[in-house]
A and B are shown apart, each in its own frame.
Chain A
Amino acid sequence: MKKPADLHFQRDMLKLACLFGALAGVAAIFAISPSLSTPCALALVVALLLSPAVAALEGRGYSRLAASLMVFGGLIAVLAAMSVWGIQAALSDWGDFSEKMPLYFQGSIVKMRSLEALAKERFAFLSNSHITDSVLRWGSKTGQWFVDEGPVIMSRIVGWIFIVPLLTLMILNEGPNLRRQFYQLVPNRYFESFFLISTDIFRGISDYLRAKLLEALLICFLTSLALMIARAPYAIVFGILAGITNIIPYVGPFIGAVPAIIIASFDSPDPKMVYTVAAIFVAVNIIDMVVIFPMVVAKLVNLHPLILIAAVGIGQRYYGLVGMLISVPIATALKVIFLEIYSSVYEYCPNTSMSGTGDDGLSASDDERAA
């Protein structure tokens, strides 16, 4: 006859297998159907960003559904206002920029060819290389890819505009219930550890996303303001671009600066504008590294800078741009799991030497039991 402990172990292992099976099933569905996984991931990110506002309204006595609807309505109102007032300026910049794009393109090719010729004159070993032609071939292939895939991408984006808000609202409203259902699959013996780890991971990722959004908004504002003061071309467009690319750790600021510096070198009548624009991006990046990042992101993410750099490097090596974006949340999750394992295995337990004397494991007193 089997011992009760063996029976519990068998049942827990079966439950654990069901849990991993369910997780693997969900992961497989998402992996084989990007049309489902991408809007779900986007909705999850938006829900994580909006959840503090929902929490604040819940604290004021509103139900979760009412709070979710209010936050959602507020967001749509803000986006509508932005599209009326703020985006108009960016769109006019963008319209002007797209008109002049062929000229910039031609100008860059001429400049590149002259630079290549100069380099070949100076360095004999470059005589057989065709740098400009290689760049043009790459540009042509990329452009053709956009032409071929453009309609599909656009149709997906239009679909997301309708699906993502609905999914976000569902996650905001039903999130806690979904989480509870998921925890039902966890075996009793691992429940507390699983609960602690998943709560910490969830909090870490959500804090990271919010911190990065705030950082991106500040970078966007600072860059746009500085470029406008310097009278640089397309200040708002490049400010927004700097904010977006800044989401990519470490290399993002450089990617964001390149187009602005190139355009400044072609478009501005002032030859010193290139240096001014470059100095603005360097200054904003320094402000980000010295003030914004330590005060906003590092405090929330709580990872050593070397670990951050290593995580981003590994993410880039294996999954490219997406890898760079998801590397920090994954590193945060791994750190939580590692710390939990470490503390459960190695940490000194202050109560061990006083076994049986504490009462945290004990029950309420008789009076309380009667109550």
Chain B
Amino acid sequence: MGAHSHFLWMDLFSRENSAKRNLINVLKENVLFKTLSLRELKYLANLVYERVYQPNEPIFQQNDRGLGMYLIAKGKVAIKSPTPEGEVLVTTLQEGNFFGEIALVDPDNMRSASAVAAERCMIIGFFKPDLMEILERKPTMGVKILFQLSTILGRRLLETTERIAQMTRSPIHSSLRRGERLEKTS
């Protein structure tokens, strides 16, 4: 059995403290950063911001200016969208999920939904100025992150296109189109 990490001088010689190790592990698990080397992950860990949110505390509101993405390290986050009937729960995100990543690439990004802590949670914020700093200081690392981000965005665009195509092929839409044609001919 190995010596306990807090025993006497063991802490003094450990390369990182456990909080930083945990942070690196969380980042490593994320699809956006999974191609980064350990050295790059350590560098990234110095740039991101850990924030603790209490239950029902807003992370951001709809129409807030978006500055970056958030990654859930612990807890759950509810994504809500206001409608004329009231606020609607769009989805609940779990540990390891991330949201708001479009703000990293969109210059005039406005949040299109609100994010609220569903329970006490720890969120990791990664913001555009820091991504720009990475691109300036460590271009290879920046390209890796941007490539993963573009892969995610591309996949999501494909999914949306397929969903629209499915909707237009559905029987309801087909009958609606037939109805429109009949109206035009009459």
Smallest beta-carbon distance B23→chain A, Å: 12
Known: A358-B112, A361-B62. A188 touches B56 (CB 8 A): no
A354 to B56, CA, bound (A): 25
Q: Are B47 and A352 in contact (CB under 8 A)?
A: no
Query: Does B31 make an interface contact (CB < 8 A)?
Result: yes
Instruction: Bits for B47-75, please: 1 = Cβ < 8 Å to A, else 0.
Output: 10101011111111011111110000000
- B63's contact among A191, A351, A359, by CB below 8 Å, is which? A351
Q: Are B112 and A351 in contact (CB under 8 A)?
A: yes
A356 to B84, CA, bound (A): 12
Residue of A nearest to B133 (CB): A55
Name A's B-contacting residues (CB within 8 A): 4-5, 7-8, 11, 55-56, 58-59, 176-177, 180, 183, 188-189, 191-193, 195-196, 199, 343-344, 349-352, 354-365, 367-369, 371
- B99's contact among A177, A188, A361, A371, by CB below 8 Å, is which? A361
A344 proximity list for chain B (CB < 8 A)? 65
Q: Which of B122-143 contact A (CB under 8 A)?
A: 125, 127, 129, 133, 136-139
Smallest beta-carbon distance B113→chain A, Å: 3
Q: Are B99 and A363 in contact (CB under 8 A)?
A: yes
B81 proximity list for chain A (CB < 8 A)? 355-356, 361
A365 proximity list for chain B (CB < 8 A)? 152, 155-156, 159
Q: Which of B76-119 contact A (CB under 8 A)?
A: 79, 81-83, 88, 90-91, 93-94, 96-103, 106, 108-115
A360 proximity list for chain B (CB < 8 A)? 66, 100-103, 106, 109, 111-112
B82 proximity list for chain A (CB < 8 A)? 355-356
Smallest beta-carbon distance B101→chain A, Å: 7
Q: Are B57 and A351 in contact (CB under 8 A)?
A: no
Smallest beta-carbon distance B157→chain A, Å: 10
Q: Are A363 and B79 in contact (CB under 8 A)?
A: yes
A140 to B110, CA, bound (A): 64
A284 to B22, CA, bound (A): 58
Chain A interface, DSSP helix/strand/loop, else mixed? helix
Q: Which of B8-57 contact A (CB under 8 A)?
A: 31, 34, 46-47, 49, 51, 53-57
Query: In this complex, which of A5, A196, A349, A363 has the most chain B Cβ atoms within 10 angstroms of its Cβ?
Result: A363
Q: Are A363 and B66 in contact (CB under 8 A)?
A: no
Known: A192-B60, A356-B81, A369-B96. A361 touches B129 (CB 8 A): no
Q: Are B102 and A350 in contact (CB under 8 A)?
A: no
A59 proximity list for chain B (CB < 8 A)? 136-139
Residue of B nearest to A183 (CB): B49
Smallest beta-carbon distance A342→chain B, Å: 12
- B94's contact among A183, A192, A358, A369, by CB below 8 Å, is which? A369
Q: Are B112 and A356 in contact (CB under 8 A)?
A: yes
Q: Are A195 and B96 in contact (CB under 8 A)?
A: no
Q: Are B64 and A192 in contact (CB under 8 A)?
A: yes
Residue of A nearest to B142 (CB): A59
Q: Are B113 and A356 in contact (CB under 8 A)?
A: yes
Smallest beta-carbon distance B56→chain A, Å: 4
Residue of A nearest to B113 (CB): A361
Q: Are A359 and B129 in contact (CB under 8 A)?
A: no
Query: Which 6 A/B pairs are nearest by Cβ-Cβ distance?
Result: A360-B102, A358-B112, A361-B113, A356-B81, A4-B56, A371-B31
Residue of B nearest to A357 (CB): B112
Smallest beta-carbon distance A23→chain B, Å: 19
A55 to B135, CA, bound (A): 11
Q: Are B110 and A55 in contact (CB under 8 A)?
A: no
A352 proximity list for chain B (CB < 8 A)? 63, 110
Query: In this complex, which of A180, A350, A360, A367 has the most chain B Cβ atoms within 10 angstroms of its Cβ?
Result: A360
In the complex, besides A360-B101, A362-B79, A363-B97, 13 extra interface pairs with C-beta distance below 8 angstroms are: A5-B56, A176-B47, A355-B63, A356-B81, A361-B66, A361-B113, A361-B115, A362-B113, A363-B91, A365-B155, A365-B159, A368-B31, A368-B155
Residue of B nearest to A360 (CB): B102
Smallest beta-carbon distance A172→chain B, Å: 14
Known: A362-B79, A368-B31. A188 touches B51 (CB 8 A): yes
Would you list 7 pairs from A and B whose C-beta atoms are within 8 A, ordered by A residue?
A: A8-B56, A11-B54, A59-B139, A195-B127, A360-B66, A361-B111, A362-B113
